[in-house]
Structure 1
Amino acid sequence: MSKRPAILVTGADLAPEALQILRDFSIVYAGKTPRPEDLTALAREHDPVGIIVRYGSVPAEVMDAAPSLRVIAKHGSGTDTIDKPAAAARNIEVLAAIGANAAAVAEHALALMLACAKSIVPLDARMHAGHWDKATHKSVELSGRTVGLVGLGTIGLRLARICHAMDMRVIGFDPYAGNLPEYIDAVDLDTVWAQADVISLHCPLTDDNRKLLNTEVLARCKPGVILVNTARGGLVDEPALLDAIRSGQVGAAGLDSFAVEPMAAPHIFHGQPGIILSPHIGGVTSAAYVNMGIAAARNVVAALARARQPELAKQ
């Protein structure tokens, strides 16, 4: 019996449902915090035909260590940790599990938005310390406010529907989105900055939009704006955001992603009132874990089938 081709997983596990789809392959796990050099060594040892990316990055040297590699599938929607030009140059498909974690991330964005608007974290701390701030506290009512969504893919559209149901006005920017629901006003970025009471980021990170939210842009936003980022940390200039929080230009920020992950300690955001932090777990739910695993596994199988077709035609 011939040796089964290998699939390298940059993580410690996959959902059983995903493993069933990949039953004809040998699965190699890289662990929870794989470094590029670890992946390179495993690629050289096992020569995988596919890589499923959960954690860490996949640079060109990992690809070069696996001459049989034909597909790199993200266990999620963001592929910025994969060197896509290098993959294209080596005829390796790069695929994302589009929509597999949309419900989870949209819900987490909503949770951060509400936590910011309703001061949930500081009120909880005050209550546990024995205080009762009913006479002095006023939170923000989101009904009737404007939410500006940067990115109108599956996650942005799902959050838009939720916000519309909350009687919020929904505006959004996405140059690639079409056939939008009637309750979303498609606008340019300048309009988002000028009109949004809440800004929520749902776009991929590219060289063009890195540090999109910088000092100049934050100064153009409405005073007291709420910022939510469940996309990529590189979209936000972190020192600029800290300054804007301290000045009150940004009323509160709910952040699930950061420029460097895992977040180093100490970090400039640590201990800062008005900033709510979570460790990039917006898409981490039991259901999303299964959905992303299934989508990534299916992407691997489909890509390998496509790669096999030209080889069969030559025979």
Structure 2
Amino acid sequence: MSTKPAILVTAADLAPQAEALLGDFEIVYAGKTPQAADLVALAQRHNPVGIIVRYGAVTPEIMDAAPALKVISKHGSGTDTIDKPAAAARGIAVTAAVGANAAAVAEQAMALLLGCAKSLVQLNERMHAGHWDKATHKSVELAGRTIGLIGLGAIGRRFARMCDAMGMRVIGFDPFAADLPGYIEPVDLDAIWREADAISLHCPLTPGNRAMINAQTLAQCKQGVILVNTARGGLIDEPALLAAVQSGQVAVAGLDSFAVEPMTVPHIFHGQPGFLLSPHIGGVTSAAYVNMGVAAAQNTLGVLAALSVAG
């Protein structure tokens, strides 16, 4: 067994650039689909000082299996899969790679928005089947339309800049955002529901906003609204969204995240018109993979170095 302190990675790999930063540590990989019992066993065996979280959740049981644990570092921006109160109670720092995947996720949100507005998937399928729908199909022109953003962090702001460049009016809700650029008009949630022609979610999942997209809020939206979610699936009441799409209240939903991941099979969205789906790959690009890995490694090293100095 290695004499180096261990870093447990809840995945099968890290970018080589991140591995290089962690050269003074034994890197323990948990595999492609780590389960809670696997992580507990690995924590008991290696007693890591840090955990880098890519897949799966970090529970109190996993924390208790690693008495040496000092830091849990998310390989990404969303920390909802980490039990933060449990970590705080145990004096374990929790960090995130904020902004490391902002470009990738913002581009995925724009791809979904454009795919929804321009019916790209349906038209592609029709063309391959030999149809020519020019005389009967009309797409949605986004210029001049209002996009409502919920969440104005690094991803939301980058996406807002793209929308502004296309001539869209950008309104946004984020109670924690400050120093917003001039092209983002801050509004309350009621204004988002009332005024937006398209809504895009860019906020973390918290107990307070779980299922914020539900039957009541969807009923307040403009008929035919477009909904895009590249944030967390738990923000949406999925049966309510299905009903809203089926009724035409929501014209089309472009979704990159789901309440349960991997997506359950069968799922209520499967085979339903009005849904453009991708498997939570908004942040999965070659560049983002490196950026998130390096940021997660740097965050881990930063906490451990600070504790070493303090000690």
Q: State TM-score, norm by structure 2.
A: 0.99
C-alpha displacement at 1:305, in angstroms? 1.0
1:307 and 1:259 mapped to 2: Cα distance?
36
1:132 and 1:167 mapped to 2: Cα distance?
29
The alignment of Structure 1 onto Structure 2 pairs a total of residues equal to 311
C-alpha displacement at 1:91, in angstroms? 0.4
Unpaired stretches in structure 2, ≥5 consecutive residues:
none
Q: Is 2:216 the counterpart of 1:216?
A: yes
Unpaired stretches in structure 1, ≥5 consecutive residues:
none
C-alpha displacement at 1:309, in angstroms? 2.4
| Residue matched to 1:161 | 161
1:239 and 1:160 mapped to 2: Cα distance?
28
2:32 and 2:89 mapped to 1: Cα distance?
28
| Residue matched to 1:172 | 172
Mapping for residues 71-220 of structure 1, pairs under 5 Å? 71-220=71-220
Name segments (4+ residues, structure 1) moved above 3 Å: none
Q: State TM-score, norm by structure 1.
A: 0.98
CA RMSD of aligned residues (A): 0.9
Amino acid at match of 1:53: V
SS at match of 1:27: strand
SS at match of 1:144: coil
Same amino acid, percent of matched pairs: 72
Mapping for residues 33-72 of structure 1, pairs under 5 Å? 33-72=33-72
Amino acid at match of 2:33: T
SS at match of 2:52: strand
Mapping for residues 157-306 of structure 1, pairs under 5 Å? 157-306=157-306
C-alpha displacement at 1:181, in angstroms? 0.5
C-alpha displacement at 1:128, in angstroms? 1.1
2:114 and 2:74 mapped to 1: Cα distance?
29
2:107 and 2:178 mapped to 1: Cα distance?
23
Q: Deviations over 1:173-201 (max 9, x none)?
A: 00000000011100000000100001000
SS at match of 1:94: strand
Q: Deviations over 1:124-160 (max 9, x none)?
A: 1111111111100000000000000000000000000
